[in-house]
Structures are given as structure tokens and as C-alpha cells.
């Protein structure tokens, strides 16, 4: 299944994408795509619905974040060896974890706002993992049983805030609009192997990132197991699993986003995103 939330920000409705790519309204069955809907029992109930019986949604509505009320967003750094190399960082021996504030999260095609004073806003296409069951210290071989589905994420980053303002990375990762997710959540039954998905990102039509999840240092099952050792993962929590080479920081010379840029990105079978980049209203640049 492809589950989504559509409509104006703060007033999204639950939706399902049918086999022909048509948006259907799920409001008659669930009030929203919430934690209880993502649990195994909830997904089984939705899977039993014939999409053809759901009302068609006309027009081209906005796609919001495919999960309502994300409790926490955990990100993984340096999880592709080629990305570690381009940023002159060692390949980690254990997953590098950091948090992104949930206030950064937005819809797949929402506008990206460059923070006030920023000159180093960067892009990162990533595979997102959405948790479906309470996950606490699970083994690697059972970890994928706790996953509800997958989604495209752009883990936008302000490199000066991240690397030059002291402390941890969270300051460079949590600015408003820095976490587009979606356009939909694709359930695990439609993803044969999360470790064999191509992913890409372009800015103004130029392809900067072109990778595959098979080159992750730590795969999805490993990450879910590892993270659940240190914190309980709850239904609706999101893991952003790292980015391949091609970020602006790693280019020679480094290249960063500016007002007027257009970002497009996608992952095989999970859809694509498009974001217009604008300046912060109080910006002087």
C-alpha cells in the first residue's frame, strides 16, 4: 500500500494511492495516518480495503508528511562510505546517530526556507524508515518485523550551523522546513529489499546524487536493532538512514543552495519530491 496525508498544512486528510496512481480518500475508514493505523493490525485492516471503493480525490492537492504526529526523528550520519570519503570523515565502526527536531518536518513538495544568515544550506536524499510497532532492544533478524514502511526524505543541513557553531549536529539539521518526508509511505510488502533501492537528487536539473541503498555501511535491519538498544522506538517514529555521495559540502568547490533553486529527488518505488528554495523573510542575503 501507499498511504499518504493530503491537504493544507494542519488540516490533512488520510489517503491511499491506488494501483493506477490515483489518490483516494481514506477518511471513511480512519481519521488520520496515526500510530495505531501503522501497527500490524491497523495495516491489515487497510490492506483489506478495495481502493476502487474509495472516493477519488480530484485535482492536485498538497501532500503532507505521510505520518501524523511523528514522535521523534532519528538520523544516521556517514552511513555510505563514499559520503564519508567526500567529507573527509572515517567510515564509522558503529552507527552515528543524531536527532532532527520534529518542527523541521514537512510535506514532500513544501517550500524549503534557507535560514536567516545561512550560506551553507545543503541537500541529502535519504531512505526513511517508519516504525510500526513498539520496538525495544530487538535482534537484527527480527528488526524488519517492526517496520511499517518506507519513504523518501530530504535531510537538509546547514553546514556552518552543523560544523562550526559548536556542540552536536542537531543545530544544523533542525531548521524549519529541513525535513521533507513523502509524498507517501510505502508499506513493507511492496518493498522486496530495502537494501536494493536506487536514490537520486538533482538541483536545477543537475544530478548531484546517484546511489543505491546496497552500499549502506549499516543496513536497515541493523539500524533498527541498534537504535532500539538505546531508545524505545514508537509507532510513527522515523529513521533517516543516511545519504550517498554528492552533497554540496563534498563538491570542489563546495556548492550550496540559494533562493530560486529547485530540488528534485526520489527513491525507486517510493516516489519523488520537488522543493522550491526561498530566502528567510528576515534574511539579508
pLDDT tens figures, 153-205: 999 999 999 988 888 889 999 999 999 999 999 999 999 999 999 999 999 99
15/137 Cα distance (integer angstroms): 32
User: 81: burial class by Cβ within 10 Å (0-12, 13-18, 19+)?
Assistant: middle
Per the prediction, the chain carries an average pLDDT of 96
- As a whole number, mean pLDDT of residues 267-272 equals 98
Element (H, E) at 73: strand 73-77
- As a whole number, mean pLDDT of residues 232-242 equals 98
Domain positions in the chain are 2-53, 73-279
Fold of 73-279: Fumarylacetoacetate hydrolase; domain 2 (3.90.850)
Binned at pLDDT 50, 70 and 90, residue 134 comes out as very high
**Span 22-68, pLDDT tens digits:** 999 999 999 999 999 999 899 999 999 999 999 999 999 999 999 99
Amino acid at each position: 500500500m501507499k498511504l499518504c496525508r493530503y491537504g493544507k498544512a494542519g488540516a490533512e486528510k488520510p489517503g491511499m494511492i491506488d494501483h493506477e496512481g490515483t489518490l483516494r480518500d481514506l477518511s471513511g475508514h480512519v481519521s488520520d495516518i496515526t500510530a495505531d493505523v501503522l501497527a500490524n493490525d491497523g495495516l491489515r485492516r487497510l490492506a483489506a480495503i478495495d481502493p476502487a471503493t474509495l472516493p477519488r480525490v480530484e485535482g492536485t492537492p498538497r501532500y503532507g508528511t505521510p505520518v501524523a504526529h511523528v514522535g521523534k526523528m532519528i538520523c544516521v550520519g556517514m552511513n555510505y562510505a563514499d559520503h564519508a570519503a567526500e567529507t573527509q570523515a572515517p567510515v564509522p565502526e558503529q552507527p552515528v546517530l543524531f536527532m532532527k527536531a520534529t518542527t523541521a518536518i514537512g510535506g514532500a513538495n513544501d517550500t524549503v526556507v534557507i535560514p536567516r544568515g545561512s550560506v551553507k544550506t545543503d541537500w541529502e536524499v535519504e531512505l526513511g524508515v517508519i516504525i510500526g510497532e513498539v520496538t525495544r532492544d530487538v535482534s537484527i533478524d527480527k528488526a524488519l518485523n517492526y517496520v511499517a514502511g518506507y519513504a523518501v526524505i530530504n535531510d537538509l543541513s546547514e553546514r556552518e550551523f552543523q560544523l562550526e557553531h559548536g556542540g552536536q549536529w542537531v543545530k544544523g539539521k533542525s531548521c524549519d522546513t529541513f525535513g521533507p518526508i513523502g509524498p507517501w509511505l510505502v508499506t513493507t510488502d511492496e518493498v522486496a529489499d530495502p537494501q536494493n533501492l536506487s536514490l537520486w537528487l538533482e538541483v536545477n536539473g543537475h544530478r548531484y546524487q546517484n546511489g543505491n541503498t546496497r552500499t549502506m555501511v549499516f543496513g536497515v535491519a541493523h539500524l533498527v536493532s541498534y537504535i532500539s538498544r538505546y531508545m524505545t522506538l514508537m509507532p510513527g517514529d522515523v529513521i533517516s538512514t543516511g545519504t550517498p555521495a554528492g552533497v554540496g559540502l563534498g563538491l570542489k568547490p563546495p556548492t550550496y543552495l540559494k533562493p530560486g533553486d529547485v530540488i528534485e529527488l526520489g527513491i525507486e518505488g517510493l516516489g519523488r519530491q520537488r522543493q522550491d528554495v526561498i530566502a528567510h523573510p528576515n534574511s539579508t542575503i
